[in-house]
Structure 1
């Protein structure tokens, strides 16, 4: 299963008011493991930042002046995400902006949902933790994902943090190492064969809550795609030949 954890940074909060995407960051997971492939581009907008947005992102029009526009990178971006499941926090925000950008690039690009299935981690977090704060920062704190190096909102950095949060949110799987500083991250990922031999696999049985979340997710996939390749319950599975 191929998944792309995605985040964007923008000049403001509303694409309807003409705000634009100024950064796209993506992290690729295959079978819930990072492949090391990422996609990150800064984009030159044709509008100014709204008050406060520049301070949040740490970006400026001067920095973005020589960066490509969306039309220059749209094909590369769509090639990277095509056919994957997009993991996005507060997906309506990012999808609205990206759909607007695709529309500006040409009607033949369609909408984001025509290229990939979208999974919203904010909706899942609200189901699991109703009435609590479920921002990315709040979830990092809840799942002990270190975001102390997050001085500004950066699309690639936030996608890396969200990858750790997503795995913890969906299965309790530990930190991928994205939350570590760069130097420590290399040490955490690089292992010699002898080191790997010492790793002991632990089997975690699904709880009733996990099974309910899994079923709800399959139902969402089936609703978006029109069908699901996976049966919703063991009783729905086809009988194996004798």
Structure 2
């Protein structure tokens, strides 16, 4: 089954070209577009200050990040986790831009933009002219936002995973038989159960009993 990685970053600001840096990366694995439970998350020392306006968004201060690994120290683990699979993010150009700036800074190959899947583009195509922030999409799809007091990258990934399933066609998407030798993702949803249609073929005795019952009715619609 298809594997992909859904990820998010938090940063010191909005533009890597002016010196803003990544301070948090979180990612989770999808197989068949459903979470498997495998997750990656790390804080990063940005080697610079964290402006107050950025701290108000994600909740991290410079003191929180002191002693955390630098990007060069976590890059191999991150790249091993994401592999060569598609990379899904909300407003993905922002996250790709920051990660590629960090990779360029340490002389590493940038992420291929062909791997990018942007859920913001998907949402805009499906809901043109409507608010399509992660918060707006969660409210539209009935995803619980009560824990989202700041922009925590791992929580945002978990919320986006639920939104992504809905953008891909709902919770029935991707459910099916698992090919031989593959393991089904261990995913449990607490939403309402899907309606199941069951067709039953009656026996000859049941058909005869039904015919006898119908004969006792006045002008039965079954004989119309």
- Unaligned runs of 5+ residues in structure 1 are 175-187, 192-198, 204-242
Q: Partners of 2:139 and 2:189 in 1: how far apart?
A: 26
Q: Partners of 1:33 and 1:118 in 2: how far apart?
A: 17
Residue 78 of structure 2 is matched in structure 1 by 77
CA shift, 1:201, in A, is: 7.5
8 Å CA contact retained: 2:10, 2:58 = yes
Q: Partners of 2:171 and 2:18 in 1: how far apart?
A: 40
Query: CA offsets per residue over residues 155-209 of structure 1, 9 Å max, x none?
Result: 11101110000001111227xxxxxxxxxxxxx9499xxxxxxx77859xxxxxx
The structure with the larger Rg is: 2
Residue 165 of structure 2 is matched in structure 1 by 167
Residue 51 of structure 2 is matched in structure 1 by 50
Q: Partners of 1:78 and 1:35 in 2: how far apart?
A: 18
Name the one with the larger helix percent: 1
Residue 144 of structure 1 is matched in structure 2 by 142
- Unaligned runs of 5+ residues in structure 2 are 173-186, 198-224
- Matched residue count: 180
Greater shift after overlay, 90-99 or 48-57?
48-57
Structure 1 residues 83, 9: closer, same or farther in 2, change over 3 A?
Answer: same
Residue 177 of structure 1 is matched in structure 2 by none
TM-score (norm 1): 0.70
Stretches (4+) displaced over 4 A: 199-203
Structure 1 residues 201, 76: closer, same or farther in 2, change over 3 A?
Answer: farther
Residue 59 of structure 1 is matched in structure 2 by 60
8 Å CA contact retained: 2:11, 2:21 = yes
1:175-214 alignment to 2 at 5 Å?
189=188, 202=196
Query: CA offsets per residue over residues 217-241 of structure 1, 9 Å max, x none?
Result: xxxxxxxxxxxxxxxxxxxxxxxxx
CA shift, 1:51, in A, is: 3.8
Residue 128 of structure 1 is matched in structure 2 by 126
Q: Partners of 1:202 and 1:166 in 2: how far apart?
A: 23
TM-score (norm 2): 0.75
Q: Partners of 2:95 and 2:194 in 1: how far apart?
A: 39
CA shift, 1:126, in A, is: 0.6
Structure 1 residues 69, 154: closer, same or farther in 2, change over 3 A?
Answer: same
